[in-house]
Amino acid sequence: MIFLKSLLFIVWNVAVGVMLINLVRWLLFNKQNRFVFGMHVPLTPGFIVLKRDWLFNKARAILHDYLDQADHAIDNYSYLAKWEQLVYDTVVKKADFVDEWKFLPRIWKKKIKAALAKTAKDIARKVLRKVIPGLIAQLQVEHRIDDFDEQFSSKVLRQYYNQYVHKYMIYFFIAVNVLIGITNMILYLIIA
């Protein structure tokens, strides 16, 4: 009878291991909010579901924000305007070689530096506000984001997780927990 009781250690350890692995899968891929006694369970919906939705929503928001800023050329507080100003300031600093030119009046040197910087800023403005939005429209980036959103749905990610991760984690935890259960059984038989 003691030996039969000691076999329960193996069963118990395997059950706990399998339950923990299934709990991990539930915490990763749970699709909806869960409530216990009217209180929200903090780790629901699952981590993968939340982060996947956050990632695709963030990608869409960044794309729309960029396109909105590219349309508003007169806005001087957007990050595109700051980048253009950064290009202007950098070219003014790098155009110090103009100061070394002899026999030119200082006013002409300033005008040459300003013209170089304004040209670089205009080129950056054209690239940031015309070329890149044109490429975004031509490559249909927004539709590609939607396609990736469908391709990497929670259901597909869960299938890949089950196929390539969950199955092998179950095998590993069963093997480890059987060994721990056998060790506990032997210790129980020694003590009893």
- Note the pLDDT tens digit of each residue in 156-175: 888 988 899 999 999 999 99
Enter the tokens of residue 127.
């690239």
Q: List 39's β-bridge partners, or say none.
A: 36
Digit-coded pLDDT (tens) for 41-64: 777 777 888 888 889 999 999 999
H helix or E strand, kind and range, residue 39: strand 39-40
What per-residue confidence (pLDDT) applies to 87?
A: 92
For the chain, what is the domain count?
1
Mean pLDDT for the stretch of residues 78-95:
89
Say if residue 188 is exposed, middle or buried (CB neighbours under 10 Å; 0-12, 13-18, 19+).
middle
State residue 103 phi and psi, 5-degree precision: 70, 20
Which residues share a beta bridge with 40?
A: 35
Tell me how far CA of residue 185 lies from CA of 9, 11, 13, 87, 150, in angstroms: 6, 10, 11, 72, 49
Distance CA 163, CA 156 (A): 11
What range defines the domain where residue 6 resides?
Answer: 2-191
Tell me the mean pLDDT in the region 111-131.
Answer: 91
What is the structure's pLDDT at 185?
87
Indicate the helix (H) or strand (E) that contains 35: strand 35-36
